[in-house]
């Protein structure tokens, strides 16, 4: 019963922490904010794809879709608010970030997780009978 919420929570916290680390400059200290932002996006894609592949090894392709879709929405929503940390919170900016960034970031997290999970799930060797 709590399996799906737990999966989404763990993935969302981990990916939001990675995003926050890049946003606050804890991972890279750079004078180039564009490069730092692109590195953060690449890290999110790589982590989602790797984690999705592990999920695909453990579960069927259909069992990978919903957790990654929900994780994408949660991470995108959280990023709309965490980006303002240390800069003063402005609700209008947060709502604008939600409206424009939510679909993009959801896809950025969900698509690699779902794709990697589905591909690995479909190409892994079949499990012996009686083994879950």
Output the tens digit of pLDDT for each of the chain's 132 residues.
469 999 999 999 999 999 888 877 766 666 777 777 788 899 999 999 999 999 999 999 999 999 999 999 999 999 888 877 777 888 888 888 889 989 999 999 999 999 999 999 999 988 777 665
Backbone angles phi, psi at 51, to 5 degrees: -65, -40
Plot region of 89 (φ>0 → left; ψ -120 to 50 → alpha; else → beta): beta
């Amino acid at each position: 019963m709590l399996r799906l919420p737990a999966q989404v929570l763990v993935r969302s916290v981990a990916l939001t922490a990675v995003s926050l680390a890049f946003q606050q400059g804890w991972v890279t200290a750079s004078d180039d904010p564009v490069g730092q932002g692109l590195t953060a996006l690449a890290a999110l894609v790589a982590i989602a794809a790797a984690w999705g592949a592990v999920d695909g090894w453990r579960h069927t392709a259909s069992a990978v879709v919903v957790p990654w879709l929900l994780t994408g929405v949660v991470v995108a929503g959280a990023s709309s608010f965490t980006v303002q940390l240390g800069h003063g919170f402005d609700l209008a900016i947060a709502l604008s970030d939600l409206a424009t960034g939510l679909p993009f970031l959801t896809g950025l997290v969900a698509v690699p997780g779902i794709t990697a999970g589905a591909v690995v799930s479909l190409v892994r060797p079949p499990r012996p009978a009686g083994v879950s």
